[in-house]
């Protein structure tokens, strides 16, 4: 009997014993193609020799040094690399151990920024429905899935949710993409007006919505409009690229494709590729300057922040991606994956939508294509697809999202950046069988 509290008390998960490249093996000798990188984490696949070598080197020289006493070469080099490659205006990186920690730190940096500037009343956060920003209490407050939040109320941050930019579900029949983008972004303007701009801290959003919606990209100039609205009202823009960032969509940061830069950005998952737990907040120079010119002390911190093993792993992962030109493979194989999904599943009577960017593709499953009606949630379709896919030796990431109280099922694919055409064909063939 297991002594671990697993995600569910109803069953114990399979025992994973080994992993190499794009496959994971269990204790019964079955192997699974990791077509979702776990949760868009394993961007280099498993057991990459260069990352393992970097980890060995770091463990040999220095495995841990508390940041209250020291900085380390690994952490400094990673910080420098992250800032050098960051969107315009980003001046510094803050290292943490995962996505939720990054979101917590970003929210606290935002609060402290305004406090240092004498605007402590700016504390309302605006986010979007059908969003996920992490499971710690602050990050959970930002997320917009009520079923995750309900039993933990009252939440720690006052968050207000507007509609996501989700064309398949929200764009009206006959409405142009430009008009829809304007309408969706207009929700932010209206919410800021309702709350009073002087009370609003930040708007938080994923550029391409991952786990909760299944790789939903924005439409038209939505994010340009969002950036403009935030600037006009002095509201900070926090982009959560924990899942869609670090190359997953074909550019290092997903926001590059929107032509905007955030005030704060969170990254994690693909940053360390699963070799170590790591995340980061990238913060604009103006936020750093407000703290440096004020109290000079960010009132936050974790024991394992800037962990040299984690930093060394992340640095090695990012170096391999650049050296092997893997973002080009993400774009090429992403296009191939999308084409194969459309060929094989595009006419499936229960497939409503196929969307995504790069190696971040999603499929929306519907009971009726014409009405876009979701499946009855009691069917637990996402759980069934996951079980069927595992039976086919395929790890994919199905979820039942919440759309204004209705559920909708989707499958997310986020394979490692090293996939080949044959790998992609095999993934789609196994997924089609599972569906």
Nearer to ligand PMP, 215 or 418 (CB): 215
Stretch binding ligand PMP (CB under 6 A), from 112-120, 235-243, 297-305, 308-316: 235-243
User: Residue 277 and residue 97: Cα distance in Å, rounded?
Assistant: 5
Nearer to ligand PMP, 134 or 408 (CB): 134
Q: How far is the CB of 367 from ligand PMP (least distance, A)?
A: 26
Tokens of 250: 């074909």
Q: How far is the CB of 136 from ligand PMP (least distance, A)?
A: 7
| Residue of 268, 271, 291, 317 that binds ligand PMP (CB under 6 A) | 268
List, in sequence order, every residue forming a beta bridge with 397; answer none if it has no partner: 412
| Residue of 37, 87, 99, 217 that binds ligand PMP (CB under 6 A) | 99
User: Residue 319 and residue 227: Cα distance in Å, rounded?
Assistant: 31
240 binds ligand PMP (CB under 6 A): yes
Nearer to ligand PMP, 105 or 351 (CB): 105
Nearer to ligand PMP, 280 or 341 (CB): 280
| Residue of 210, 217, 273, 416 that binds ligand PMP (CB under 6 A) | 210
Q: How far is the CB of 223 from ligand PMP (least distance, A)?
A: 15
Nearer to ligand PMP, 67 or 136 (CB): 136
- Conformation bin of residue 66: beta by default, left when phi > 0, alpha when psi is -120 to 50: beta
Q: How far is the CB of 102 from ligand PMP (least distance, A)?
A: 7
104 binds ligand PMP (CB under 6 A): no
Q: Cβ of 177: how many Cβ atoms within 10 Å?
A: 13
205 binds ligand PMP (CB under 6 A): no
Nearer to ligand PMP, 268 or 345 (CB): 268
Site string for ligand PMP, 150-189 (x = CB under 6 A): ----------------------------------------
Q: How far is the CB of 152 from ligand PMP (least distance, A)?
A: 15
Backbone angles phi, psi at 240, to 5 degrees: -95, 100
Cβ neighbourhood burial of 50 (10 Å; 0-12, 13-18, 19+) = middle
| Residue of 206, 263, 364, 423 that binds ligand PMP (CB under 6 A) | 206
User: Residue 215 and residue 167: Cα distance in Å, rounded?
Assistant: 12
Q: How far is the CB of 100 from ligand PMP (least distance, A)?
A: 3
Pairing of strands 264-267, 279-284: antiparallel
134 binds ligand PMP (CB under 6 A): yes
Nearer to ligand PMP, 165 or 291 (CB): 165
133 binds ligand PMP (CB under 6 A): yes
Stretch binding ligand PMP (CB under 6 A), from 81-89, 180-188, 240-248, 347-355: 240-248
Angle of helix 222-233 relative to helix 177-195, nearest 10 degrees, comes to 20
280 binds ligand PMP (CB under 6 A): no
Site string for ligand PMP, 309-328 (x = CB under 6 A): --------------------
103 binds ligand PMP (CB under 6 A): yes
413 binds ligand PMP (CB under 6 A): no
Among 81, 143, 59, 70, smallest CA distance to 271 is for: 81
| Residue of 22, 229, 239, 243 that binds ligand PMP (CB under 6 A) | 243
User: Residue 243 and residue 251: Cα distance in Å, rounded?
Assistant: 13
Position with the least CB separation from ligand PMP: 99
Please report, as ranges, the residues that interact with ligand PMP according to CB under 6 A: 39, 98-100, 103, 132-134, 206, 210-211, 240, 242-243, 268
């Amino acid at each position: 009997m297991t002594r671990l509290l697993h995600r569910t008390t109803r069953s114990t998960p399979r025992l994973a014993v080994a992993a190499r490249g794009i496959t994971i093996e269990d204790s019964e000798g079955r192997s699974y193609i990791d077509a979702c990188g776990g949760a868009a984490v394993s961007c280099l696949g498993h057991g990459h020799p260069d990352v393992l070598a970097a980890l060995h080197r770091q463990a040999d020289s220095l495995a841990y040094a508390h940041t209250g006493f020291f900085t380390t070469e690994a952490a400094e080099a990673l910080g420098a690399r992250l800032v050098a490659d960051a969107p315009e205006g980003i001046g510094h990186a803050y290292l943490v151990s995962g996505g939720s920690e990054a979101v917590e730190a970003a929210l606290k940096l935002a609060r402290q920024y305004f406090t240092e500037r004498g605007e402590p009343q700016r504390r309302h956060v605006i986010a979007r429905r059908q969003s996920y920003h992490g499971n710690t209490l602050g990050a959970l407050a930002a997320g917009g899935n009520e079923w995750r939040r309900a039993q933990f109320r009252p939440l720690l941050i006052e968050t207000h949710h507007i509609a996501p930019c989700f064309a398949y579900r929200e764009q009206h029949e006959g409405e142009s993409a430009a008009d829809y983008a304007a309408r969706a972004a207009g929700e932010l303007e209206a919410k800021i007006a309702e709350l009073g701009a002087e009370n609003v801290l930040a708007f938080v959003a994923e550029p391409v919505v991952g786990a909760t919606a299944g790789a939903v990209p924005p439409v038209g100039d939505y994010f340009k409009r969002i950036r403009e609205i935030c600037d006009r009202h002095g509201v900070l823009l926090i982009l959560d690229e924990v899942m869609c960032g670090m190359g997953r969509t074909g550019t290092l940061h997903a926001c590059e494709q929107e032509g905007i830069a955030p005030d704060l950005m969170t990254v994690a998952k693909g940053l360390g590729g699963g070799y170590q737990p790591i995340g980061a907040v990238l913060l604009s120079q103006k936020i750093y300057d407000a703290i440096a010119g004020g109290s000079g002390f960010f009132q936050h911190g974790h024991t394992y922040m800037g962990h040299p093993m984690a930093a060394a792993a992340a640095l090695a992962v990012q170096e391999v991606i650049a050296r092997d030109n893997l973002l080009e493979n993400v774009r090429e194989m992403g296009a191939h994956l999308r084409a194969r999904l459309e060929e094989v599943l595009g006419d499936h009577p229960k497939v409503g939508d196929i969307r995504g960017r790069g190696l971040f593709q999603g499929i929306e499953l519907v009971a009726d294509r014409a009405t876009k009606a979701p499946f009855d949630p009691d069917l637990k379709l996402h759980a069934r697809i996951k079980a069927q896919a595992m039976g086919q030796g395929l790890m994919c990431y199905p979820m039942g999202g919440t759309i204004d109280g209705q559920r909708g099922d989707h499958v997310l694919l986020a394979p490692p950046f090293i996939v080949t055409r044959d790998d992609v064909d095999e993934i789609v063939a196994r997924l089609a069988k599972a569906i």
